[in-house]
Amino acid sequence: MLNGNKISTDGCLVLAKLLQEEDSTLAHLQLRGNKIDDEGVGILVDALQNNKSLGTLDLRGNDGISKQGQISLLKLVNDISCIKATLQSNHTLRYLNDKRIIPDGDPFNVDEEEFQKQINFATKINRNHDG
């Protein structure tokens, strides 16, 4: 648990190295209430593309994460840009929480709750997947 430790982009770089190790066994990563922004999310998303151990990522309370970061997280678990991308999405991550995401005046008119529902649906598919 690394909640409330002021982790920012630099900390995400260190965590990414750990997540990218082939023998990584980290199953749960709680990063609530840190200073993670979209750049940090991007670093974590890149690291998790091929990670086969992390099942839970909790990013709640990181106010620097915008809609762009939310989109990156959703694409990590369910990239629907093409069939190949969907198949290559991370199917290990089964719980992904990030409630403070979408700012007021969102041009796509998708509220925070709806985005979290989409992420929950994608990770529910992962939980039900036997592979």
Structural tokens at position 128: 């039900």
Edge-to-edge order in the sheet of strand 95-97: 28-30, 56-58, 95-97
Q: How far apart are alpha carbons 90 and 78 in whole angstroms?
A: 7
pLDDT for 128 equals 76
Cross-strand bridge partners of residue 30: 58
Structural tokens at position 58: 């909790």
The pLDDT tens digits for 59-115 are 999 989 988 898 899 899 888 888 888 888 888 888 887 654 333 444 344 566 777
Confidence band for 13, pLDDT divided at 50, 70 and 90: very high
Kindly tell me the burial class for residue 87, based on how many C-beta atoms sit within 10 Å of its own C-beta (0-12, 13-18, 19 or more).
exposed
Q: Where are the alpha helices (DSSP H) in the chain?
A: 9-20, 38-48, 67-77, 83-88, 112-128
pLDDT for 102 equals 38
Give pTM, 2 decimals: 0.79
| Comparison of pLDDT for 98 and 18, the residue scoring more | 18
Q: How far apart are alpha carbons 11 and 33 in whole angstroms?
A: 14
* Lowest model confidence (mean pLDDT) among 1-5, 12-16, 114-118: 114-118
Structural tokens at position 85: 């991308």
pLDDT for 49 equals 93
pLDDT for 54 equals 94
pLDDT for 88 equals 85
Number of H helices, E strands in the chain: 5, 3
pLDDT for 10 equals 96
The alpha carbon of residue 38 and the mean position of all alpha carbons in its chain are separated, in whole angstroms, by: 11
What is the average pLDDT score of the chain? 83
| Comparison of pLDDT for 113 and 3, the residue scoring more | 3
- Cβ atoms within 10 Å, residue 117: 12
